[in-house]
Amino acid sequence: MKNQNKSKKIFLLYTLISIGFLIFLSVMLLTVLKSRHLPSLYTKNSSKAQRGSIISADGFHIATTKKLYKAVVNTLYIDPQKMQLFVELFSIYSGINSKSIQKKLAKRKGVVVLSYNISEKRAQYLKKLAYELRRYDVFIERRDPHTGRSSLHGLSVIESGESREYPYGNLMTPFIGYPHKLEENGYTYIQGVKGLEKKFEDALSAKQNELSQGKRDVNGYIILNKESFSKPNINGLDIKLNIPVGLQIRIEKMIDSMKEQLEAKQIIMVIMDSTNGKVITMASSNRFFPKNIKRSDYPSLNSAITEYSFEPGSVIKTLTFALLLDKGLVNPYDLVNGHNGRFKIGRKVITDEHNFDWLSAENVIVHSSNIGMAQLVQKLSGVELNQGYKSFGFTKKSTNDLIYEKVGSVPSIKRLDNEIYKATASYGYGMRANLLQLIRAYSVFNNNGRMITPKIVNSFIDTRGQSINIENEEQIQVIKSSTANRVKKILIKTVNEGTGKKAQVDGLIIGGKTGTAHIVEEGLYVNKYNTAFLGFANDKQNKYTMGVVVIQPNSSQFAAQTAVPVYKKAVDIMVEEGYLKPYIVN
């Protein structure tokens, strides 16, 4: 009986153990088969590539891109007891006022974007803060009533876009241009609209975003092995200019001051190296801040240097005379009748500011005689004059570096066969050009008869810092070298004895030609003027072609009193900055 009871107890014990083991196996099986929310064994990191920068010749970033981040939090996961701690810490790390943060959090429950405009540096601080907040249990887990799963959402700092920054404000506008914003999948991109930002959109644009993916370790980092994959960021190319910041700032300040003094609508200026076409200054008095464009800035958004086409006036006399001289149709010492300041061609009466009896052909340029030029130009046919002006680059783009250029016009061959139209065209009426075209044309006289193309952009710089040079345009022989050098001497004489006297600088070779022209409004000439001075400034080593246009000065209609003083001040600045070195005999 005793043995029977003992057997029953053993049997019962084994049965209980078996049942327990079966229950354990069942639980394990259910655990294995049950769908669970396990962390992924794989992870992926990505980062957006950035738009390239625009850099000055002396290495300063004129336009650059800043990454922006947004900070997002779900208020439902913040421990109510630690809400104030969250607010204070976020304020310290983000630099955002704590009251502003409290208002945003109180406004709605759930997902709240605390800021869309967090810099990359601040974003790194906030990512560290997000880790610390979890460590101190500022966030609490919540169970989803539908799925029964628990989750915890902390502070998220997410790359949200890019912002175009202009550290030097309105420097070099408007030819630098400006961008606008585009949004794609919640990310804000920058795209050029005007100027260099638009012209070099393809070069500046980001090429490839960074992506890394593969198995992760316990800390969430990607394990780099054969199964992992990564591709690097390839940012847009940087653009390096030929224009240095130091010189540009001083020229801009000077023309700003002269604009007020001359009561002008605008002043524009270009300085170009005559040997290689490098533009070292391209300045306008009417500028804007690309980050904050106002309605009043709209007229300044177009670069007047290439997008303002005007009748150039007497600066064209130099080109007309060069065509005559090159074809052997005139000798600089030929005598021309000045008709005492009043001369009639057909029904048109041509006048001069000064009454001349007789003057030499070269003095027609030196003293800017409309009457003398009107007579000399009759030696050219309509074809020769039309094709001659075009050979100097008129009606063609002056540079490949800018967009939306207004190329102007030259009277037709048929019109130039008429003696009146031929006369007026010879001193710059009835045709249109922009300042950069005039600079290009005048480079001929400082470069042995060869015309050089203005070059604003020096090179591209890739992600590795390697420079990609841009080849110079081929120089075009427009007139004979002997002709160019003879005209050059006449332009020097114009500064020493004629209308350009105020441009003289001791120890430098300065030459140039003044020009004044009526402005056309609604097809009629009005009592408003543009004045100009085009020429060159050289020392023993350096040669620069320079030009200034004063648009609608009210103080005077004469270039000698408006454009020439601006030119002289620019030369003085170039001397002070070391671009020109006067030769002084002790």
Q: How do the residues of the chain divide into helix, strand and coil, expressed in percent and rounded to 5?
A: 35, 25, 35
Q: What are the tens digits of pLDDT across the range 450-473?
A: 999 999 999 999 988 999 999 888
> What Cα–Cα distance (Å) separates residue 89 from each residue in 69, 84, 85, 119?
18, 9, 6, 17
pLDDT of residue 38: 47
pLDDT at 36 over 60: no
Do the beta carbons of residue 516 and residue 529 sit within 8 Å?
Answer: yes
Residue span(s) of the chain under CATH 3.40.710.10 come to 245-576
Q: Residue 268 — very low, low, confident or very high, per pLDDT cuts 50/70/90? A: very high
pLDDT at 39 over 60: no
pLDDT of residue 586: 58
Cβ count near 43 (within 10 Å): 17
Q: Mapped to the 3 state alphabet, what secondary structure does 437-496 carry?
A: HHHHHHHHHHCCCEECCCECEEEEECCCCCEEECCCCCCEECCCHHHHHHHHHHHHHHHH
Q: Residue 33 — very low, low, confident or very high, per pLDDT cuts 50/70/90? A: low
More confident residue, 186 or 504: 504
Q: What is the Cα–Cα distance from 374 to 378, expressed in whole angstroms? A: 7
Q: Where are the alpha helices (DSSP H) in 300-418?
A: 304-307, 316-326, 361-366, 370-376, 382-391, 413-416
pLDDT of residue 569: 98
Residue 584 tokens, joined: 């002084």
Q: Mind giving me the DSSP string for 225-240?
A: STT-EEE--BPPPEEE
pLDDT at 567 over 80: yes
Query: Percentage of residues in the chain with pLDDT exceeding 70?
Result: 92
Residue 128 tokens, joined: 């560290």
C-beta contacts of 341-350 below 8 A and 24+ residues apart: 341/371, 342/371, 343/371, 343/374, 343/375, 345/374, 345/419, 345/420, 345/423, 346/419, 346/420, 347/420, 348/420, 348/423, 348/424, 350/374, 350/423
Cβ count near 449 (within 10 Å): 21
Residue span(s) of the chain under CATH 3.30.1390.10 come to 68-162
DSSP helix/strand/coil, 345: strand
Residue 400 tokens, joined: 């490949």
pLDDT at 40 over 70: no
Q: What is the Cα–Cα distance from 94 to 379, expressed in whole angstroms? A: 76
Q: What are the tens digits of pLDDT across the range 524-547?
A: 888 899 999 999 999 999 999 999
Q: Residue 232 — very low, low, confident or very high, per pLDDT cuts 50/70/90? A: confident
Q: Are strands 457-461 and 509-521 parallel, antiparallel or unpaired?
A: unpaired
Report, as an integer, the average pLDDT of 360-367: 96
pLDDT of residue 188: 87
Residue 99 tokens, joined: 């009251």
Do the beta carbons of residue 61 and residue 156 sit within 8 Å?
Answer: no
Q: Is the peptide bond before 411 cis (omega within 30 degrees of 0)?
A: no
Q: What are the tens digits of pLDDT across the range 50-95?
A: 999 999 999 999 999 998 888 999 988 898 888 999 999 999 998 8
Do the beta carbons of residue 301 and residue 288 sit within 8 Å?
Answer: yes
Q: Residue 562 — very low, low, confident or very high, per pLDDT cuts 50/70/90? A: very high
More confident residue, 99 or 145: 99
pLDDT of residue 278: 97
Q: Residue 6 — very low, low, confident or very high, per pLDDT cuts 50/70/90? A: low
Length of the chain equals 586
> Picking from 11-15, 114-118, 293-297, 497-501, which range would have the lowest pLDDT averaged per residue?
11-15
Q: What burial letters (b/e) apply to 195-234, b meaning 16+ CB within 10 Å? A: bbbbbbbebbbbeeeeebbbebeeeeebeeeeeeeeeebb
Q: What are the tens digits of pLDDT across the range 185-210?
A: 878 889 999 999 999 999 999 888 87
Q: What is the Cα–Cα distance from 309 to 409, expressed in whole angstroms? A: 9
Q: What is the Cα–Cα distance from 472 to 469, expressed in whole angstroms? A: 9
**Reported CATH class of domain 68-162:** alpha beta
Residue 569 tokens, joined: 């001040």
Do the beta carbons of residue 96 and residue 115 sit within 8 Å?
Answer: yes
What are the backbone dihedrals phi and psi of residue 51, each rounded to the nearest 5 degrees, phi first?
-70, 145
**Which residues are within 8 A (CB) of 379 and not within 5 positions of it... i.e. 6 or more apart?**
324, 329, 330
**CATH fold of 245-576:** Beta-lactamase (3.40.710)
- The DSSP output letter for 354 is S
Q: Residue 400 — very low, low, confident or very high, per pLDDT cuts 50/70/90? A: very high
Q: What are the tens digits of pLDDT across the range 148-191?
A: 677 878 898 888 889 999 999 999 999 999 999 988 887 888 99
Entry pTM: 0.85
Chain-wide mean pLDDT for the chain?
90
Q: What are the tens digits of pLDDT across the range 402-449?
A: 999 999 999 999 999 999 999 999 999 999 999 999 999 999 999 999
DSSP helix/strand/coil, 564: helix
Do the beta carbons of residue 545 and residue 475 sit within 8 Å?
Answer: no
pLDDT at 220 over 60: no
